[in-house]
Amino acid sequence: MFKDKLIGKALASADLQITIDRSRCMRMRFNNNECPVCTSNCHSGAITIGDDIVIDADKCSLCMVCVSECPADCFDLKGGEFFGILARLRKMRDSVTWPVLGCKTDAGNEAHEKTTCLGALSDEHLIALNVFMDRPVQLNLTACAQCKNSFVIDTLKDRIAGIKETTGIDVSEKAVLIENKADLRFDEVSYDRRGFFSAIKNLTLLGASELFEKEEVDVIQAYSQKGMPLKRSILNKTIKTVMDKDVAARVLKEYAFTIKADATCDNCFSCVGMCPTGALKSRSDESGAGLLFNPSMCIGCALCRDFCLNNSIFMMQGYSGEHYFDHYICNKDSCMVDTPENADCEDAIDVVCCHGQKAVL
């Protein structure tokens, strides 16, 4: 008990605090929005949203669930270093047979790399882990039963089951949940001659592991600056670099969104200002005005749809077209694609107009 308290205190210290970027929050951007994701997922009731987002540091148990659940990337962990950890796990594949990822909560638990709490692993992280790791990673949850964040086991199980149900990807092949100490297979890192050179080779060859490194971006403060959620960038890189086409199609059906504006759109571009990620862009030049949409950047927040005064915008879950990574015109009947190489494309979206079928988040 005493140890728990001590560690709890250490975790709540200044360098481990969840930072908030309120300019990303859907409720801060649009006062009619009632997104409940962080408040309803927070097990300790530490988050309150009024005129600002506030995390009560005394209540917060650093379970990282808000960080992994927030669709808009409002939360981040200062000093968390989570993505570097996964990259290192990938790189140690020749020196360790059974890599183990653990948490910092229990100082004694066995792991090659430790993060604040495994609740940080979002759907997108788990999918990326599944695609990129060549061997299973054991998620050391043996200390969870005694921890106040014990619900994280169920959270992870739900996420893994959810991914399997919606996309058919069995994440549990690579992300193995270990709840009992007896099941854990842990070897200390051994650097023999061969392992040492392999490690160097891996360092240079495995560009893919950079996937998990956090991109260096300026801290976004202004509401008008656009930013992509990190987990979405991870998913996009996974799709772009390694994922099998059929699997990618299933993933896009679940995690991507399609936006289309109908003839009532008057090119006022209010939605472009409202969009937190830059998925919507405006174009006004000699060829006319148009609303451009990039599915890879859309997080499905539906702020554009709800904000539009003409109710011109329709959103549906899933994207099945050819232009996932392009900005294409989405408010004209025949779709024009904004990249020169795709200029001949007649129908960039092959979805039926989704009038009335508003996706529910």
Partner 1 sequence: MPKYGMVIDLQKCVGCGACALACKTENNTQDRTKGQTFNWADFIMKEEGKFPNVNFTPRPVLCNHCTDAPCVKACPVTPKAMFKTLDGITMHNDERCIGCQRCQKACPYSTKDTEKDRAAYSVISFNARGGTTHPFHKDAKELIPGCTSSGVEVSKMAGDTPPYRNRYKHPEYEDVRRSGITEKCIFCEHRVKKGELPYCVVSCPSGARIFGDLSDPNSEPSKALKAHKAVQLKNSKGELLKAGEKGTQPNVYYIRNFKGDLKKMA
Residue 220 or residue 242: which is nearer to partner 1 going by CB? 220
By CB under 8 A, which span of 144-152, 182-190, 215-223, 253-261 interacts with partner 1?
A: 215-223
Find the binder of partner 1 among 39, 172, 282, 317 (CB under 8 A): 282
Q: Evaluate whether 348 touches 337 at the Cβ level (below 8 Å).
A: yes
Min separation Cβ 298 and partner 1, Å: 17
Min separation Cβ 276 and partner 1, Å: 9
Q: Evaluate whether 337 touches 270 at the Cβ level (below 8 Å).
A: no
Residue 156 or residue 275: which is nearer to partner 1 going by CB? 275
Closest CA to 86 of 107, 116, 114, 123: 114
CA distances from 49 to 30, 178, 335 (A): 13, 35, 40
Residue 52 or residue 187: which is nearer to partner 1 going by CB? 52
* Ramachandran angles phi, psi of 284, nearest 5°: -135, 110
Min separation Cβ 270 and partner 1, Å: 4
Instruction: Based on the shown chain and the rule CB under 8 A, indicate whether residue 323 belongs to the binding site for partner 1.
Output: no
In the stretch 297-316, what mask flags binding to partner 1 with x, by CB under 8 A?
----------x-x-------
Find the binder of partner 1 among 40, 180, 204, 221 (CB under 8 A): 221
Residue 23 or residue 209: which is nearer to partner 1 going by CB? 23
Residue 276 or residue 300: which is nearer to partner 1 going by CB? 276
Min separation Cβ 44 and partner 1, Å: 24
Min separation Cβ 200 and partner 1, Å: 43
Min separation Cβ 73 and partner 1, Å: 16
Residue 46 or residue 292: which is nearer to partner 1 going by CB? 292
Q: Which residues pair with 33 in a beta bridge?
A: none
Cβ atoms within 10 Å of 54's Cβ, excluding its own: 13
In the stretch 2-41, what mask flags binding to partner 1 with x, by CB under 8 A?
---------------------x---xxxxxx---------
Find the binder of partner 1 among 82, 83, 212, 269 (CB under 8 A): 269
Q: Which of residues 72-111 bind partner 1 (CB under 8 A)?
A: none
Min separation Cβ 222 and partner 1, Å: 5
Residue 16: its H or E element: none
CA dihedral of 20, 224, 220, 208, whole degrees rounded to 10: 110
Query: Count of residues binding partner 1 (CB under 8 A)?
Result: 23
3 state SS for 337-356:
ECCHHHCCCCCCCCCCCCCC
Q: Evaluate whether 61 touches 43 at the Cβ level (below 8 Å).
A: yes
Closest CA to 120 of 161, 57, 62: 62
Closest CA to 172 of 225, 104, 118, 126: 126
Q: Look up residue 156 and give its two tokens.
A: 């992870």
Residue 272 or residue 336: which is nearer to partner 1 going by CB? 272
Instruction: Based on the shown chain and the rule CB under 8 A, indicate whether residue 272 belongs to the binding site for partner 1.
Output: yes
Q: Look up residue 205 and give its two tokens.
A: 């060859």
Min separation Cβ 24 and partner 1, Å: 11
CA 168 to CA 51: how far, in whole Å? 41
By CB under 8 A, which span of 3-11, 220-228, 316-324, 333-341 interacts with partner 1?
A: 220-228
CA 121 to CA 159: how far, in whole Å? 9
Cβ atoms within 10 Å of 46's Cβ, excluding its own: 20
Angle between helices 123-132 and 82-91 (to 10 degrees): 20
Q: Evaluate whether 318 touches 304 at the Cβ level (below 8 Å).
A: no
Instruction: Based on the shown chain and the rule CB under 8 A, indicate whether residue 51 belongs to the binding site for partner 1.
Output: yes
Instruction: Based on the shown chain and the rule CB under 8 A, indicate whether residue 287 belongs to the binding site for partner 1.
Output: no
Residues of this chain that bind partner 1 (CB under 8 A): 23, 27-32, 51-52, 221-224, 268-274, 282, 307, 309
